[in-house]
């Protein structure tokens, strides 16, 4: 445990990097993912096709391969940015595909029949979306999105493989010097668990809140 | 003769290679109850769904209360508000209580005051016999109760015409009669109704006219007594003998 306490400063800074990567790519992937879903359910075939292709590509490539590709290929193509930024961009682009899938499945939980019933009663499309589709889709989608965000948290650890000093990389470095793997990695594991728990609890809270407003 | 509530002329509809409606001509007079029967795949549901343009047609003309069906848009929404529709699968809004299901369209489409909408909705729920379920959610109701709630929801818009698309086909047998009772009551009160159903008993009791469809065409139409007791076409006869054999 002493190794953790003695290196608290760099470890906390590394934790800060992990949280930074997490928060920025979470926001980015939620926004991008929703846009992809909108494209995917839009009446324009080209947009639908592009969104479908996007999801297929990123769901079917390992994140590590994508990271390595970005870190080594982007500079080669003349695009230089800080490593942390590269990681954030890759995570955003990658997780957006999963967000899009989750949101789409949420929309699909609202039976087409309910949309038909709403239209048959004279509600306009915008009213149908607002009063019938969205309130139900949101409820269905909070928990799956929470899971995507937890997966995103775990995926931030891959940043260590391309030289970003975030939590996993930092504890690894501390251990190389102190050789106390059990307390050091346990502390790191507990930190990830605490973050994941926080995300899960937040998702649960939001879900309850939306449920009460029904 | 007064303007028909529904008038279909030369209505044609295809789903890809499938020719589901072949030059349909049909008039429904105000306060008339028309029951459409026929084997599955005969086009009877599609016919019902073209009347409020849930299914756009390929050719022909449909008029509701003298007005040709408008294109998708505000005008169509206005027309749909006056045409009630009851579906096989109820299609109640899952996130709203029964009462809110009934109040939604009056509030959002007709802009009725909330208190008025509530009073009317409760009266309608009373009429279909589920006032005690007003605060329940659809998933907490039996199929029969859900369908009665769906009928109340349609009536809340004061429709001048009601379309029923196989309203009892998804129900357990013991719940069919409670829904049919409500429909018979409506018919008696003078509602104009187009009912697609397999319930021959209802057709006999409540219909002014039975329309038999097969293969996208109207094969035969007659008052129920005549249709059931003196069936003219071979196809209708064989359909009836299959249905009534059980």
How many Cβ atoms are within 10 Å of B2's Cβ, its own excluded?
8
Class of residue B74 by CB neighbours under 10 A (exposed 0-12, middle 13-18, buried 19+)? exposed
Chain-centre distance for alpha carbon A66: 15
Chain A residues whose CB is inside 8 A of the B56 CB are none
CA distance B73 to B191: 27
When the pLDDT of each residue in chain B is averaged and rounded to a whole number, the result is 95
0.90 exceeded by pTM: no
Chain A residues whose CB is inside 8 A of the B94 CB are 110-111, 114, 136
Dihedral pair phi/psi, residue B216, rounded to 5°: 80, 5
For residue A205 the two structure tokens come to 């809270």
List of chain A residues with pLDDT < 50: 213-214
> Residue B46, by phi and psi: left (phi above 0), alpha (psi -120 to 50) or beta?
alpha
Q: What is the pLDDT of residue A213?
A: 45
Task: Flag whether residue B87 sits within 8 Å of chain A, measured between CB atoms.
Answer: yes
Q: How far is B241 from chain A (nearest CA, A)?
A: 33
Dihedral pair phi/psi, residue A165, rounded to 5°: -90, 80
Q: Contact at 8 Å (CB) between B198 and B121?
A: no
Hey, what CATH topology would domain A18-164 get? MetI-like fold (1.10.3720)
Residue found under tokens 């009347």: B51
Which chain B residue's Cα is nearest to A112? B91
Q: Choose, out of B49, B76, B77, the residue to mutate when testing the contact with A (most A CBs < 10 Å).
A: B77
CA distance A68 to A62: 10
> Residue B16, by phi and psi: left (phi above 0), alpha (psi -120 to 50) or beta?
left
In chain A, how long is the greatest CA-to-CA distance?
71
Q: Work out the percent of chain B whose per-residue pLDDT is above 70.
A: 99
Which chain A residue's Cα is nearest to B73? A124
| Mean pLDDT (whole number) for B23-43 | 95
Q: Which pairs with CB-CB distance under 8 Å and at least 24 residues apart come from B117-120? A: B117/B156, B120/B156
Residue found under tokens 């008029």: B63
Residues 125-184 of B with CB under 8 A from A: 150, 153-154, 157
Kind of pairing, strands B193-196 and B33-37?
parallel
Could B91 and A116 be called an inter-chain contact, meaning their C-beta atoms sit closer than 8 Å?
Answer: yes
Could B81 and A121 be called an inter-chain contact, meaning their C-beta atoms sit closer than 8 Å?
Answer: yes
Q: What is the pLDDT of residue B122?
A: 97
| Mean pLDDT (whole number) for B109-137 | 96
CA distance B90 to B138: 9
Could B93 and A122 be called an inter-chain contact, meaning their C-beta atoms sit closer than 8 Å?
Answer: no
Chain A residues whose CB is inside 8 A of the B105 CB are 121-123
Residues 108-127 of B with CB under 8 A from A: 108-109
Q: What is the pLDDT of residue B246?
A: 63
CA distance A108 to B227: 43
Residue found under tokens 């449920």: A211
pLDDT level of residue B1 (50, 70, 90 thresholds)? low
Which chain B residue's Cα is nearest to A125? B73
Q: What is the pLDDT of residue A6?
A: 87
Could A118 and B93 be called an inter-chain contact, meaning their C-beta atoms sit closer than 8 Å?
Answer: yes
Q: What is the pLDDT of residue A38?
A: 81
Residues 37-56 of B with CB under 8 A from A: 52, 54
CA distance B87 to B83: 13
Q: What is the pLDDT of residue B229?
A: 93
Could A123 and B94 be called an inter-chain contact, meaning their C-beta atoms sit closer than 8 Å?
Answer: no
CA distance B107 to B32: 29
CA distance B210 to B191: 16
B162-219 pLDDT, tens digit each: 999 999 999 999 899 999 999 999 999 999 999 999 999 999 999 999 999 999 999 9
Q: Contact at 8 Å (CB) between B29 and B64?
A: no
Kind of pairing, strands B193-196 and B59-64?
unpaired
Could A122 and B81 be called an inter-chain contact, meaning their C-beta atoms sit closer than 8 Å?
Answer: yes
Task: Check whether B91 has a pLDDT greater than 60.
Answer: yes
Q: Choose, out of A114, A121, A127, A130, the residue to mutate when testing the contact with B (most B CBs < 10 Å).
A: A121
Nearest to A124 among B74, B83, B85 (CB): B74
Q: Give me the DSSP letters along A89-144.
A: HHHHHHHHHHHHHHHHHHHHHS-HHHHHHHHHTT--HHHHIIIIIHHHHHHHHHHH
Q: How far is B94 from chain A (nearest CA, A)?
A: 8
Under 8 Å CB pairs connecting chains A and B tally to 68
Q: Please list, in sequence order, all residues whose beta carbon lies within 8 angstroms of the beta carbon of residue B45, skipping any fewer than 6 positions away.
A: B165, B166, B196
């Amino acid at each position: 445990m002493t190794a953790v306490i003695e290196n608290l400063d760099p470890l906390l800074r590394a934790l800060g990097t992990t949280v930074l990567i997490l928060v920025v790519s979470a926001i980015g992937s939620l926004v991008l993912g929703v846009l992809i879903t909108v494209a995917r359910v839009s009446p324009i075939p080209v947009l639908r096709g592009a969104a479908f292709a996007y999801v297929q590509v990123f769901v079917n490539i390992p994140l590590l391969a994508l990271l390595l590709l970005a870190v080594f290929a982007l500079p080669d193509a003349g695009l230089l940015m800080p490593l942390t930024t590269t990681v954030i961009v890759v995570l955003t682009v990658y997780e957006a595909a999963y967000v899009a899938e989750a949101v789409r499945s949420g929309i699909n939980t609202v039976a087409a029949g309910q949309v038909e019933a709403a239209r048959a009663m004279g509600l306009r499309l915008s009213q149908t979306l607002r009063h019938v589709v969205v309130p139900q889709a949101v409820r269905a989608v909070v928990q799956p999105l929470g899971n995507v965000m937890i997966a995103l948290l775990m995926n931030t650890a891959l940043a260590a493989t391309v030289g970003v000093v975030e939590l996993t990389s930092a504890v690894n470095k501390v251990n190389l010097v102190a050789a106390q793997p059990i307390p050091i990695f346990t502390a790191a594991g507990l930190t990830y668990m605490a973050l994941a728990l926080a995300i899960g609890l937040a998702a649960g809270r939001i879900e309850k809140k939306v449920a009460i407003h029904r | 003769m007064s303007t028909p509530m529904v008038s279909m002329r030369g209505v044609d509809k295809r789903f890809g290679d499938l020719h589901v409606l072949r030059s349909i001509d049909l008039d429904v007079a105000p306060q008339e109850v028309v029951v459409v029967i026929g084997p599955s795949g005969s086009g009877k549901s599609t016919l019902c769904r073209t009347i409020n343009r849930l299914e756009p047609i390929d050719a022909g003309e449909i008029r509701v209360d003298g007005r040709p069906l408008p294109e998708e848009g505000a005008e169509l929404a206005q027309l749909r508000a006056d045409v009630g529709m009851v579906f096989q699968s109820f299609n109640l809004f899952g996130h709203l209580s029964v009462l809110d299901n009934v109040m939604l369209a009056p509030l959002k489409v007709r802009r009725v005051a909330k208190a008025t909408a509530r009073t009317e909705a409760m009266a309608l729920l009373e009429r279909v016999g589920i006032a005690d379920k007003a605060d329940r959610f659809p998933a907490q109701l039996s199929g029969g109760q859900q369908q009665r709630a769906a009928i109340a929801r349609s009536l809340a818009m004061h429709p001048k015409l009601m379309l029923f698309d196989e309203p009892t086909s998804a129900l357990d047998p013991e719940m069919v009669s409670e829904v049919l009772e409500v429909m018979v009551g409506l018919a008696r009160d003078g509602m104009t109704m187009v009912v697609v159903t397999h319930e021959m008993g209802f057709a006999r009791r409540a219909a002014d006219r039975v329309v038999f469809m097969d293969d996208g065409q109207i094969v035969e139409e007659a008052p129920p007594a005549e249709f059931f007791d003196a069936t003219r076409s071979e196809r209708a006869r064989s359909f009836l003998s299959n249905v009534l054999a059980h």
